[in-house]
Amino acid sequence: MKPIKGGNERRKLALISLIDVVFILLIFFLVSVFFSSLPNEERKLFLPTPKNEPGSAQVLIQLIDDESFFYIDPLVTETLVNDITIIDNRGGSLAEKRNVLLRRCTFPMRDERSGLNNLVEKINGLIDHANLHPEEEYFVIIRCPGELPYRKVIELIQLLGRATYKNIQYGCVGGTISDIRGSKKIEKRLVPEEGQMRKNVIIEF
C-alpha cells in the first residue's frame, strides 16, 4: 500500500513539538531546582540603642495598633506649628493642643479607598524624598507599644533601610499613644537644624 504523504509530514511535525516540550520541561526543572535550592539566609538588622535623654527627629512614628498609627513628618510639623500658634495667640489650653495633635497626626493603617497601607505609603514617600535629597539627613523615631509584636518595628526598619543613600537614620523606643494623649507640654520652638533655624514641635511626655 502506498503511504499517505500528508501523514508523514504530520508525524515529523509532532516529533519536533515533542522535542520542544522536552526542552521546556528541562528548563522548567532547572528553574525549579534553582529556586528550591536558594538557601534561607539570616540577615542582620542593626538597631542603635536608644539614649536616655530627650531627642529630636524629623519623623515620629507611633504605632498604636493594627488599625491606626500616629505620624509626624516635616510637612505635618508646618501645619502643627500654625495650629499651635493660633491656639497660643488666643490663650488656648494644653487639651486643645493635644486634640489638634491627635486629630492631625492619627491615620488609619489601611486606606479605605485604595486599600493600601498608609504607613507604608508614607514611608515610601519619605524614602523618595530622601533619595531626591541625598544631602539631607533624616532621623526617624519609631515608638511601639509593648503589646505589639516586635516584627512591626522590624518591618518598618526594613522599609527605611531601602533609602538609596542611607541618609535615613532610625531609632526605636517603647511607648504608647497614651503618652502623647497625656503629654505635659506641646509647644513650637525654633530648633537649629543643618545650619538653619527651623520651627519644630516639642512634645514633652
Nearest residue to 100 (alpha-carbon basis) of 119, 79, 118: 79
Q: Which is nearer to another protein, 172 or 203 (CB)?
A: 172
The minimum distance between CB 56 and another protein, in angstroms, equals 17
CA distance linking residue 12 with residue 18, whole number of Å: 10
Contacts of 31 (CB under 8 A, 6+ apart): none
One symbol per residue from 113 to 152: x for binding another protein (CB under 8 A), - otherwise; what is it? ----x--x-----------------------xxxxxxxxx
Q: Which is nearer to another protein, 6 or 195 (CB)?
A: 6
The minimum distance between CB 81 and another protein, in angstroms, equals 30
Residue 190 contacts another protein per CB under 8 A: no
Handedness of CA 22, 24, 28, 34 (dihedral sign): positive
Instruction: Tell me if 161 sits within 8 A of 172, measured CB to CB.
Output: no
CA distance linking residue 119 with residue 69, whole number of Å: 8
Handedness of CA 161, 164, 170, 176 (dihedral sign): negative
Name which position in 44, 90, 113, 184 contacts another protein (CB under 8 A): 44
Name which position in 137, 155, 179, 187 contacts another protein (CB under 8 A): 155
Task: List contacts with another protein (CB under 8 A).
Answer: 13-14, 17-18, 20-21, 24-25, 27-28, 31-32, 35, 38-52, 117, 120, 144-155, 157-158, 172-174
